A and B are shown apart, each in its own frame.
Chain A
Amino acid sequence: MSEVSVRALTIEYQTSAGWLPAVADAWLDLRPGEITGLVGESGSGKSTLALALLNAVPAPGRIAAGTVELAGVGDVTRLTGKQLRKVRGGALGYVFQASQNSLNPLKTIGRQLLDLGRSHEVADLRALIARAKDLADRMGLDGDRVLDSYQHQLSGGMRQRVGIVFALVLNAKVLILDEPTTALDMLSQASVLDIVRKVHDENQLSTLIITHDIGAVSEIADRLAVMYGGRIVEDGPLLDVLRRPSHPYTKALIGATARITGDVDAARALPGRPPDLTTVARVGCVFRDRCGFAVETCATVEPVLAASEDGRRRACHVEPSTVLSGASGTPAAVGEPA
């Protein structure tokens, strides 16, 4: 049923203090026709998780446990060499941030497409270019002009769209976008989100959007998965999660987002700052230091990601109803602010 199934995935990085987990025991499903938003602050491990879907975790990281099952292919984490290269691009399309220079500055876009085709041993390169032009046109770009341009001649929004073209030109069924709207202004952001939804619907893809902006992704996502300290703490249909968040972190995140509607004074910044690899708690719940609902168990027992209602999962010791209704108290231990 799922196009991509992530099961018990743990990814570690080597540091001077030994191997530390950047992602711990992650479970995630990407289903056909669904856009999933993976939301987390910096250091939550979301980008690492996304790279693991391509088995592209950079050194000094490694996948320590778990599997990434891709429908029709098998466990991506076990693939190497040519098989892996085929999957990357052929089955899984990955789109980088517009601000990252993931396009070769010395070659035109068209030439890079040809390179892509050749390394995937595409027989008909002409058809590949035609498909790329078609995709570009549907995204509001001038296909011919873009193919003849160098990356510095394109604006941030255009580069983002070119990235999407590259990801889909080989007919991948899974699309992964890493921070597609960061570093773009409002108008470009809106058009990129619009295009992602359109392209997703037209091709019935399984799409994963990784972002720290819960507001932006909520415009187009069908499901929401929230990450904190390397763990997935909540997961479920977008409307349910936003209306009735069942994890204190999700609730705090929604409350900390600057919004165009609503009461300005009701917004509350999250206290403290997010942990990273070296500072994340090793015992108990990773969020307890900043949690207004923490109880005794939270300090000693790590909550497991378990099904709560239909189609929803959460990792928390506190009852969902308490989280939903209660105003949060002062967190137990507040570190320096962000």
Chain B
Amino acid sequence: MIQARGITRTYQTHGAFTGAHAVPALRGVDFTLPDGGAVSFIGESGCGKTTLGKILTGLETFDGGELVVDGVELSGLSARARARYFRRIQMIHQDPYSALNPTRTVEATLGDPLRMRAKEIGGDPGKWRERAAELLTLVGLEPAAVLPKYPHQLSGGQRQRVVIARALTVDPEVLIADEAVSMIDVSMRLGILSLLRDLRTRLGISLVFITHDVATARYVGDGGELHVIYRGEVVERGLTDDVILTPVHPYTQCLLSAVPIMRGLEEPGPDRMAPIRALDERTATPGCLFEPRCPFATQECALTHPTLVPLGGDGAGVGSAAVDVGDLGDGAHVHACLHPAARRVVGVEIGAASA
């Protein structure tokens, strides 16, 4: 069980001629991940979702906020104790090729962490081969065929499965899948996604699913929450199906509009839209961060910075109570927009009953 409150991360860059420059990657992200649950983060490239993934696995530090794992606040611990907690959270990278050591066989790659783990829990290190075979079968690979191979002898999908098997060697409780299927052929993605879903149901592992492809977020299993990140801020969140079918924030609506329509099988949503200009990090945005690109922006949007409020209110807090930290994790649909409006942007299946 992970609870993140107000996670903030700012990068300081020093240009030789431009001087010190602060780039905020995350501006206060909250979420709750229950045991066996799934939380998906969607956004375009550079929105901070990868930074979040790295923070959750301990590869990056955060500058503000708190990270509570199983009731223990991590910043209060020593580096060593923290490392023990982070071990329970394993990352599945985007690029399955660079995630495996090209000079080692699958057997070697799985062997070391398995032996280490066996010593840790007082098991028999000599039995690691059986455990490796067990894990490979669990991820849908045939052990005898895969163990002696080098990464370049495997297909992209197989490599990703080996990466997942390796992550499972240390019995993690949480898997962070950072664009885990983006570099795999579209036709093979479903296999990996169902594997992740299976791991949730069979082993009770929770999943943080980071992606730019919204459609894939639907396939990681029931009860998932979807968080939409824009420039380091969560602008809308709720149960996956709620956010996809009834988005209220213009940015979410732009992202969903961008999903390609399979003509003949689907029809485009009537309110489909796109941002009015490209992302330009240099323009100052004192109000809503999305305002320069929003097709529905008003004067007010440029001045007031909206906060997260439940559906039925606007981001300024008018119309409903502000979000309480205690509400997190219950899948409530909240958003950060001053003028939220439901729009039908997602494609509709031809011939299907309306969703």
Interface on A for B, CB 8 Å cutoff? 41-42, 140, 156, 185-191, 193, 212-219, 238-243, 253-254, 256-262, 264, 267-270, 273-274, 336-338
Contacts and interface: CB of A to CB of B under 8 A. Distances in A.
B257 interface: yes
B185 A219 contact: no
A257 B187 contact: yes
Contacts of B141: 336-337
Contacts of A189: 258, 260
A218 B188 contact: no
B40 interface: no
Contacts of B264: 218, 238-243
A193 to B, nearest CB: 7
Interface in B255-303: 255-266, 274-275, 278
Contact of A260 (B45, B191, B259): B259
Interface string B243-258: 0100000000011111
Contacts of A259: 215, 262, 266
B171 interface: no
Interface stretch (B14-22, B155-163, B328-336): B155-163
Interface of B: 44-45, 140-142, 145-146, 155-158, 161, 184-191, 193-194, 212-216, 218-219, 244, 254-266, 274-275, 278, 346-349, 352, 355
Nearest to B197: A264
Contact of B158 (A187, A216, A256, A338): A338
Contact of B185 (A191, A212, A241, A260): A212
Given A212-B187, A242-B264, A260-B346, A191 B274 contact: yes
Given A187-B274, A218-B263, A337-B157, A258 B213 contact: yes
Contacts of B260: 189-190, 193, 215-219
B158 A218 contact: no
Contacts of B258: 186-187, 189-190
Contacts of A219: 260-263
6 contacts: A42-B156, A213-B186, A259-B266, A260-B218, A261-B348, A261-B352
A190 B188 contact: no
Contacts of B219: 258, 264, 267
Given A258-B186, A260-B244, A262-B349, A185 B263 contact: no
Most buried by A among B44, B190, B219, B260: B260
Instruction: Across the A-B interface, give the 7 residue pairs with the lowest CB-CB distance, nearest first.
Output: A338-B157, A190-B258, A242-B264, A219-B260, A269-B190, A269-B191, A338-B188
Contacts of A242: 262-265
Contact of A273 (B157, B216, B256): B157
Given A185-B44, A186-B214, A218-B265, 7 more contacts: A185-B45, A186-B259, A187-B274, A193-B260, A218-B261, A219-B260, A338-B155
B257 A269 contact: no
A264 B218 contact: yes
A20 B276 CA distance: 50
A323 B165 CA distance: 36
B271 to A, nearest CB: 15
B263 A42 contact: no
B236 to A, nearest CB: 15
B185 A41 contact: yes
Contact of A258 (B190, B274, B275): B190
Contacts of A190: 257-260, 274
Contacts of A336: 141-142, 145-146, 158
A336 to B, nearest CB: 5
A77 B352 CA distance: 48
A186 B212 contact: yes
Contact of B215 (A191, A238, A260, A268): A260
Contacts of A156: 45
Contacts of B45: 156, 185, 188
A262 B259 CA distance: 14
A97 B12 CA distance: 32
A260 B214 contact: yes
Given A186-B259, A336-B145, A270 B218 contact: no
A42 B157 CA distance: 11
Nearest to A190: B258
Contacts of A267: 190, 219
B250 to A, nearest CB: 13
A215 B265 CA distance: 10
Contacts of A256: 186-188, 190
Q: Which of A42, A185, A189, A256 has the most CB of B within 10 A?
A: A185
Given A42-B185, A219-B260, A219-B261, A186 B193 contact: no
A212 B181 CA distance: 13
B347 A260 contact: yes
B262 A212 contact: no
Nearest to A141: B278
Nearest to B190: A269
A242 B156 CA distance: 27
Contacts of B188: 41, 256, 269-270, 273, 338
Contact of A257 (B157, B184, B186, B348): B186
A243 B264 CA distance: 6
B235 to A, nearest CB: 14
Contacts of B145: 336
A210 B258 CA distance: 20
Contacts of A254: 262, 265
Given A256-B187, A256-B190, A186 B44 contact: yes
A239 B146 CA distance: 40
Given A187-B44, A187-B275, A261 B266 contact: yes
Nearest to B161: A337
